Structure 1
Amino acid sequence: MVETPHRGRTSPGILIRYAGLLALLFTETAVAQESAPSAGGHAVGHIIDSVRPTAESGIHGFFALLGHQPIAFILLALALGNLIGKLDVKGVSLGSTAGSLLVGVIISMVAEAVYGITYSIPGVLSSFMLLLFMYALGLKVGPQFFSGLRKGGLAFVGVGVIVWVLNWVICYFGASWVGLAPGYATGLISGSYTITAILGVGQSALSSGAYTPPAGMTVEQVGANMAAAYAISYVLSSVGIILLIRYLPRIFGRDAKADAKQAEREYSGGATHPVPGAPGALVMGFSPYDLRAFYVTHQQLIGRSLAQLAKEYPQVPILRVVRDHQVLELSDDLVLEKNDIVTVRGNVHDLILEEGELIGPEADEALARNVPLEVADIHVGSHALSGKTLEELESRGTGGVTVQALFRAGNELPLGPASVVLFGDVIRLTGPDVAIKAAAKTLGGRAILPTLKSEVLYLSLAMLVGYLVGIVSVTISGIPFSLGTSAGCILAGVGVSYFRSRNPEFGGPVHEGARSFLQDFGLNAFVVVLSANVGPKVITALGGDTLVWLALIGTLGALIPPLIAFWVGFKFFGLNSIIADGAATGGRNSTPGLNAIIEESGSSVAAVPYPVSYALTTVLALIGGYFSMILS
């Protein structure tokens, strides 16, 4: 007789038998895999091989699992990094990017120092994630980019040059002053600037013979010095610059959110609506127009067709007809009958005072009132309407809609009844779908409505073009000159957004939720992969007084230049604090820093000057790195 355990309790014997059964199952599965390999057997065996180290050796096995499964490492660092980034201590927080970077570095350092496990994740993953971030950011700032160049291009260049000069002076002369061996100065410049390519030009100077190591020192030793200095300064500067850029406006007594709003107004040329193609363009705004439903009781409406009524009352079109609790399909020859319920849209004031008297008593029929309102951009394609005013257009069958904004060549125009509409302009309308489509037909265009459609085609082609442009390199005296893939992809995003702002029928606005996710996930995944690969190098560089000097000089070289450049941009060039911050972080080549000020200010306007100073200082930093090696 088998003893039945009490309900809600499990006997030890049962647990033992279950454990034995599971062990037997795993053993038999492994044996079956060896004797009769199959797709399913390989998969199960792979899972067991991955999980077994954790079960057998606890924490050591867990770190080993992260090494075998880099995706698990990335997801863990992202989760913990975002949690830590949200912690707020007296108004100061790391943010998701710095938090993810810090967690990744700590995990990889512990694995190396305690268990001898060195993580290595393919760099192509981090590079691709960074390019996704840059493209998404370009989509956001595209409409403001060119106006930003016109407004403060020279100042952006000045801020970038200041960052580069000060970084080179601090790293090169700092290394020379404390007596660091050859190679350390170049590594410090590369790490504090977070430009790995500087190591490449330094190595090029060594391999080409442009620099010859002193007696008793090999080329390999110089290269090792560069790598050690790079690893130490890279980690410290990556975390430090995020915090500095995030709080620079606050350090100088500025409100980041308020200054960001002011900058948005300045760089929009006084416009109050997002241009066509920009995220958030097709968001419903306030309208003085409203929907009302009335019973048809007046004799002058009964027996009249919708086409006749549209000509007599173009400003208040009929948007829906309900008869016997059924919604009728609208057509020009539809004739109204007594006690039909019609839905109209017009100015609330006029509806209250006039339409009830004209049509009949107001109705509370849900079918008549449930008419969803939409917002759409329409590209004016009718030459016959070019030169007409908005007031004249309203009398031509564009009633039932509200003109929310008017754009010409991507710029918002003042809006009023006398505003003139030209061929090629873009009009933003709000209203019921039937009214918007009718207006679009009259204007010779089609309504661009917000959608969740895939952006993969535009993303792939634009990023491909940006990437190819970025890798084009011209070598002069051993120094490669190129725009860089990051700058290429952000400019690709700017180009797509700029093109759509003038031609909204080519896709319309990118959905802001998708764009924002791409931006955040791309950057955070990039820094996590980077942290996994850089963390172990920090361990190998530890030891002696050299470590202290590398940490000190690298940190000063990373933080002092953007601090001073921000002050010059803010005080002498008169830049808005958020714009000066964006120029400084571009001059420092810190994409995570840019994301930090975007989070702090709640705006992407800091990205307007970023590509200008970024592209310039990338070239200057490579030149400076080459000469720092030669002069060593």
Structure 2
Amino acid sequence: MNWLFTQLKAHPELAFFLTIGVGYLIGKIKIGYFQLGSVTGTLLTGVLVGQLGIAIGADTKAIFFLMFLFAVGYKVGPQFIQGLKKDGLPQVFFAIFVCVGGLAVAYIAAKVMGYDLGYATGLLAGALTQSAVIGVGQDTINSLPDLSAELKTQYNNSIPIAYAVTYIMGTVVFAWFFSSFGPKILGIDLAKECKDYEAKLGAKMDDPGVMPAMQMNALRTYKITNGKFANRKVAELESSFAPTAAFVTRMRHEGKVIDPNGNVVIVPGDIVVVGSKSKDLVEHEKEIGEEVYDPELMDFKIEFLDVVMTNKEFLGKTLGDIVQEKGHDFRRNVMVRKITRIGHELPIQANLTIQAGDVLTLVGKLEDVERVAKTVGTPDRRTDMSDMVFVGLGILLGGLVGLLSFKVSNIPLSLSTSGGALISGLLLSYWRATRPTFGAIPAAGLWIMDSMGLCAFVAIVGLISGPGFIAGIKAVGISLLFVGIAVTFFTCAIAVLGGRYLFKFHPAILFGACAGSMTTTAALGAIQENAKSKVPVLGYTITYAVANTIKTIWGAVIVFLLV
């Protein structure tokens, strides 16, 4: 062990990767729906390894932090900008309301307890579960001209101590409050409310075939032996599946393989390939005829294609409106298998409003999928390469803008390079959503920038601040843990009660909006588990995008409030 410790001190790069590996391992530990998470696991590991006195360059962490913040902006940009428009304004204002409430509670707690800039910033970061506050807070403290280098070091080392103490319980309280306690104090059954909301959405469909058409389960091949469809049009066979949507994708008509339209007249003995929901295909077999094996007829290509919604003709409209306006033939042989917004899969409903940057996963016959994809948006084909020109110059541009400053009461104010990188990511990702011919960052690359960027940053923070961690805990005492729980609890109460009685959100949307406003994915998972529904994510996406930006900026605001 002495040899290992000696090598880690002599080669800090090895200590760094030890911290990353063990940190992610600890972060995977899961108890129920609570998971410590890679960020906290890495920070705690860094603090532990840092007890060895690892000498690692402090400036290195800034590189990873800028990469992380640009990735955050890139992920949420389209939804953030879309949320500023009319339809998303209530959720935007709610996110601002909750973020301001959380900041106020943390500020009051810090003042009452007499915490310095470091502990106050760490309390805010941990109790509101926003890791990015650490970096922004440290940047802001370093920019204060009247602080000595010794005080800056002391405050910078205090931030991760307070964060580590308060974050774990912050995550637990958010998940518990929003999934269990919140519905109880409102006197509601969250699962029933979500079920009713889903029924409400479905009941508004004008076209009875809209909702089932959003998911295709199978293709089956039948020989027409039932006289019910003899000498009738293909469109009549398809409409017999109503309210489920169905398409005759291909058929052997009078011995010849053709790609039919709805006007082809079926004759006895024809063989048809029908695409629809598996359950309905089984139920309709007796009405159509026996299922047969015809390899030549089934010899065509099926495509799964992600399409970024960019066509302004469709943005702001519901799925039901789009299908009704475009008609049956427009969507022929094409189903919407999945809709994703900020990495979260949305419940497919006819009244789901499409926003810029939403990703629709289309599935169906190759040529038909390509046809529909070009009409509704821009295909997002899988690639292993990130546009590093876009990334590098984007971070540079944001950082330079962030360095611009102005003075208020002799205090220089600026976005800092970190805030500039975040804003750059927001704006450039929205630009890409409207013109997705550049700036591609595949999911794996974005994960590296996001997760690895932040974890690398906090790993270095932990290694640097490790030696002072124990002393810091002794200085503030166990009271910091309970202060953090109080800040989290009161912020939860502000969110739930304000969302219900001030903003009057439906409970199915409210708790997703609460989780989004606290940027707590663990809470969203707990809410969906308790609600037995994906509906809460409808309130999560816009609020998450807005709150992720605002709470990051709070790292600077809390410093200026207390300086």
TM-score by length of structure 1 reads 0.58
CA contact (8 A) 2:110 2:120 kept: yes
CA contact (8 A) 1:470 1:486 kept: yes
- 1:151 maps onto 2:90 in alignment: yes
Deviations 1:465-507 (A, max 9, x none): 5444444432223323334555554555555665666x58657
- 1:607 maps onto 2:544 in alignment: yes
- 1:200 maps onto 2:150 in alignment: no
Q: Superposition RMSD on alpha carbons, in Å?
A: 5.8
> Which residue in the other structure is 1:530 paired with?
461
Query: Bigger radius of gyration, 1 or 2?
Result: 1
> Which residue in the other structure is 2:531 paired with?
none
Paired AA for residue 364 in structure 1 = Y
Distance 1:98 1:438, change over 3 A: closer
Distance 1:513 1:201, change over 3 A: closer
> Which residue in the other structure is 2:534 paired with?
none
Distance 1:228 1:496, change over 3 A: closer
- Structure 1 counterpart of 2:72, from 134, 141, 151: 134
- Higher mean displacement: 568-577 or 491-500: 491-500
Paired AA for residue 85 in structure 1 = G
> Which residue in the other structure is 2:303 paired with?
374
- 1:252 maps onto 2:188 in alignment: no
Could you tell me which runs of 5 or more consecutive residues in structure 2 were left unpaired when the two chains were aligned: 125-133, 184-188, 203-212, 240-246, 262-267, 315-320, 341-345, 529-536
Paired AA for residue 146 in structure 2 = A
Structure 2 Cα separation of the partners of residues 391 and 134 of structure 1: 36
Structure 2 Cα separation of the partners of residues 310 and 90 of structure 1: 51
> Which residue in the other structure is 1:564 paired with?
490
> Which residue in the other structure is 2:48 paired with?
106
CA contact (8 A) 1:472 1:483 kept: yes
Distance 1:141 1:435, change over 3 A: closer
Paired AA for residue 497 in structure 2 = K
Distance 1:368 1:569, change over 3 A: same
Alignment of 1:38-437 (within 5 A): 58-67=3-12, 70=13, 72-88=14-30, 93-109=35-51, 111-112=52-53, 117-120=54-57, 122-135=60-73, 137-138=75-76, 142=80, 145-146=83-84, 150-172=89-111, 174-175=113-114, 185-193=116-124, 194=134, 195-202=137-144, 204-206=145-147, 223-231=149-157, 233-252=158-177, 254-255=179-180, 286-287=215-216, 290-292=219-221, 319=250, 343=273, 345=275, 348=281, 352=285, 363-369=292-298, 371-375=300-304, 377=307, 390=323, 399-402=332-335, 415=350, 430-437=363-370
Distance 1:367 1:144, change over 3 A: farther
> Which residue in the other structure is 2:533 paired with?
none
Deviations 1:447-472 (A, max 9, x none): 75552125623555655554444444
Cα offset, 1:80, TM superposition: 1.2
> Which residue in the other structure is 1:479 paired with?
411
Structure 1 Cα separation of the partners of residues 56 and 156 of structure 2: 18
CA contact (8 A) 2:214 2:336 kept: no
Paired AA for residue 524 in structure 1 = C
Cα offset, 1:511, TM superposition: 5.5
- Which SS does the other structure have where 2:146 is aligned? helix
- Which SS does the other structure have where 2:179 is aligned? coil
- 1:623 maps onto 2:551 in alignment: no
> Which residue in the other structure is 2:205 paired with?
none
- Which SS does the other structure have where 1:105 is aligned? helix
Structure 1 Cα separation of the partners of residues 426 and 27 of structure 2: 29
- Which SS does the other structure have where 1:368 is aligned? coil
Structure 2 Cα separation of the partners of residues 436 and 138 of structure 1: 27
Structure 2 Cα separation of the partners of residues 413 and 253 of structure 1: 24
Structure 1 Cα separation of the partners of residues 41 and 303 of structure 2: 40
Cα offset, 1:152, TM superposition: 3.9
- Which SS does the other structure have where 2:68 is aligned? helix
Cα offset, 1:98, TM superposition: 1.0
Percent sequence identity is: 16
> Which residue in the other structure is 1:453 paired with?
383
Distance 1:492 1:58, change over 3 A: same
Paired AA for residue 624 in structure 1 = L
Could you tell me which runs of 5 or more consecutive residues in structure 1 were left unpaired when the two chains were aligned: 1-53, 176-183, 207-219, 273-283, 302-308, 333-337, 586-593, 627-632
- Which SS does the other structure have where 2:407 is aligned? strand
CA contact (8 A) 2:201 2:350 kept: no
Paired AA for residue 407 in structure 2 = T
Distance 1:415 1:74, change over 3 A: same
Alignment of 1:445-594 (within 5 A): 445=375, 448-449=378-379, 451-454=381-384, 456-457=386-387, 459-460=391-392, 463-464=395-396, 466-495=398-427, 503=434, 506=437, 512=443, 515-516=446-447, 518-538=449-469, 542=471, 548-551=474-477, 560-574=486-500, 576-577=510-511, 579-580=513-514, 582-583=516-517, 594=520
Cα offset, 1:59, TM superposition: 2.9
> Which residue in the other structure is 1:38 paired with?
none
Paired AA for residue 64 in structure 1 = K
Cα offset, 1:58, TM superposition: 1.6
Distance 1:82 1:318, change over 3 A: closer
- Which SS does the other structure have where 2:116 is aligned? helix
> Which residue in the other structure is 2:131 paired with?
none
Q: How many residues align?
A: 483
Cα offset, 1:246, TM superposition: 1.1
